[in-house]
Structure 1
Amino acid sequence: MLTEVTVTRYITPLREGGSLPGLVEADDRGTYVMKFTGAGQGRKTLVAEVVCGELARRLGFRVPRLVTIGLDPVLGLAEPDQEVQELLKSSAGRNLGMHFLSGALGYDPLAFRVSPEEAGRIVWFDALVNNVDRSWRNPNLLMWQGEVWLIDHGASMIWHHNWPGAEASAARPYDISDHALRAFAPDVARAGLELAPLITEELLAEVTAEIPDVWLADEPGFDSPDDLRRAYARPLLARAADIHERVKVKGDQ
């Protein structure tokens, strides 16, 4: 399971993100980018971050270490910013933290080139999880210590916002028209040959086990957190087999 830590100090909001994540210190002396259950799409965003982040790590991608962060809403009382104060008050309990990569630079495709092989691996993974937030406008990639790191997967697996339509949603092609790495001739077919065999029921069970029960509770149509975990795994297992064939540019037949 993800390591559990507790917030000791709220440092500052990070206003680049629409959900207003914050930079915090925790009782393990670590510094984390914290995402809140009380923001935006709430806990479903955090579930997507865990599933995609932990799956990416097991597939060999560089992603910041994830933890769950306990938050006492009393921290919000000292915040002068009303928006931040309300966010902290509404996010009591377990939230999500990502290790802060100090000194990292935002990825710029005009400044940093990647090989077709690396671009293909990233595009294939984004297609697998249906990441709609890796555009050239907002790459959600960082350069740290000379290497590309993947961040911010909260907008992935959009089918979990409408479970009755999940199967149909997951069957659609993946559009890379605006993908940040499209210009680098991503070798998606090669990536599929390498990565698709790694996506197994056992791997997905391991990844979804990392989701805290409290983020899965009371989902309509599901009897238990484990029932919902299996629902997260099914579309990913199905997509892995042929998603490399459904990576499209808008207008392609």
Structure 2
Amino acid sequence: MDESLYDLRTVQVTRYVTPLREGGSMPALAEADDGFFYVLKFRGAGQGVKALIAELIGGEIARTLGLKVPEIVFATLDSAFGRTEPDEEIQDLLKASVGLNLGLHYLSGSITFDPTVTHIDETLASKIVWLDCLLNNVDRTARNTNMLLWNRELWLIDHGAALYFHHSWQNWEAQATRSFAYAKDHVLLPLATRMTELDAELKGKLGNERIQQIVRQVPDEWLLAAESPFATAEEHRQAYAQFLTTRIAHSATFVKEAQHARETII
């Protein structure tokens, strides 16, 4: 496997265009020096670098499983950026985000996925629910699907709420083997009929080598800035790898929980 195929690009942010929505994370549409627009996730917002770590790991695992995710890039803000921003709250956010942030390619013209309007097949639904159970992603509900339709295809966005155990790291080894109770709230659970059938295939795509490739892309500066019980960035990085490989090995546990939850709501 050619590791260079998975290297993330780095862009320099040149223009803050507009905030995308209210809330703690305060993402924004921004333009970069490559001429493209990105949805920018700031290290100085809300959950800080932990949300960026979850976004990177979750997005790259989704891509490995063959699911569609906008290109993820590292996005650099220099200290001069945002000085002319008139909104004080946004200016404070930009000042707190100097350095390396994260961007997702902006899907211009996309629309929010609405399960009452657009039907997706059971294979795709099963893969997405499996992914979110693996990642402990609590944020793919009917209220907030975090999926877009673009060019007639379904795209996954916003994995910042995944891996929620890393906000405290308490009992994280044990959490890796547990089921995922929030599967019952997943917007696609009613359609996820093939999780057991697809389990071995999905696990096979996420071998130890691929997991290591993904976690190696998490920057040291994010790991060192995130509060954790680990002494070094590499120990911190390998804890993510251990959590993921353990959880993948115990996927039958969360698949069974999701099946049970689906039977309950059908």
Return the TM-score normalized by structure 1: 0.94
Following superposition, the deviation at residue 203 of structure 1 comes to 0.9
Residue 128 of structure 1, aligned match among 130, 134, 148: 134
Q: Aligned-residue CA RMSD in angstroms?
A: 1.8
Letter in 2 for 1:12: T
2:216 corresponds to 1:221: no
With 142-151 and 67-76 compared, the bigger mean Cα shift is at 67-76
Q: Amino acid of the residue matched to residue 218 of structure 2?
A: I
Q: Does 1:205 align with 2:217?
A: no
Q: Alpha-carbon deviations, 1:196-253, whole Å to 9, x = none? A: 122221111000011111101165432322221110011211222323223252996x
Query: For the Cα contact (< 8 Å) 2:64–2:205, is it kept in 1?
Result: no
Q: Is the 8 A contact 2:72 2:104 kept in 1?
A: yes
Give the secondary structure class of the aligned counterpart of 2:238.
helix
**Correspondence for 1:245 among 256, 261, 265:** 256
Q: Which amino acid aligns with 2:34?
A: D
**Runs of 5+ in structure 2 lacking a partner?**
1-6
Indicate the SS of the match to 1:76: coil
Mapped partners of 1:30, 1:229: distance in 2: 30
Tell whether 2:29 aligns with 1:4. no
User: Matched residues in 1 for 2:79 and 2:257: separation?
Assistant: 45
Structure 1 stretches of 4+ moved >3 Å: none
Instruction: Kindly report which structure 2 residues correspond to 1:158-197, keeping only aligned pairs within 5 A, or say none.
Output: 158-174=164-180, 175-197=182-204
Cα distance in structure 2, aligned partners of 1:57 and 1:16: 28
- Are the counterparts in 1 of residues 64 and 206 from structure 2 also a CA contact under 8 Å? no
Give, in angstroms, the shift of residue 162 of structure 1.
1.7
Deviation at 1:185, TM superposition (A): 4.0
> What are the residue-to-residue correspondences of 1:60-79 with 2, within 5 Å?
60-79=66-85
Q: Distance in 1 between matches of 2:27 and 2:211?
A: 27
Amino acid at match of 1:198: K
CA distance in 2, matches of 1:183, 1:17: 29
In the alignment, residue 78 of structure 2 is paired with which amino acid? D
Gaps of 5+ in 1: none
Does residue 117 of the first structure (1) align with residue 123 of the second (2)? yes
Identical aligned residues as a percent? 46
Cross-structure match for 1:108: 114
For structure 1, which segment, 239-248 or 49-58, has the greater mean C-alpha deviation from structure 2 after superposition? 239-248
Change in CA separation of 1:194 and 1:202 when aligned onto 2, cut-off 3 Å: same
Equivalent position of 2:4 in the other structure: none
Go from structure 1 to structure 2 and tell me whether the alpha carbon gap of 1:50 and 1:105 turns closer, same or farther (over 3 Å shift): same
DSSP-derived class of the 1:164 partner: coil
How many residues of Structure 1 are paired with residues of Structure 2 in the alignment? 252
Name the counterpart of 2:239. 231
Q: Supply the distance in 2 between the matched residues of 1:214 and 1:172 (Cα, whole angstroms).
A: 30
Aligned-partner SS, 1:249:
helix
Query: What's the offset of the Cα at 1:193?
Result: 2.3
Select which of 39, 49, 57 maps to 1:51. 57
Q: Contact (CA 8 Å) 2:134, 2:247: kept in 1 or not? A: yes
Compute the TM-score of the two structures, normalised by the length of structure 2: 0.89
8 Å CA contact 2:44–2:96 kept in 1: the answer is yes
Deviation string for 1:1-49 (max 9, x for gaps)? 3211111110000115541101000011110000000000100000001
Out of 74-83 and 89-98, give the one that drifted further: 74-83
- For the residues of structure 2 that align with 1:188 and 1:110, how far apart are their CA atoms? 22
Cα distance in structure 1, aligned partners of 2:224 and 2:98: 16
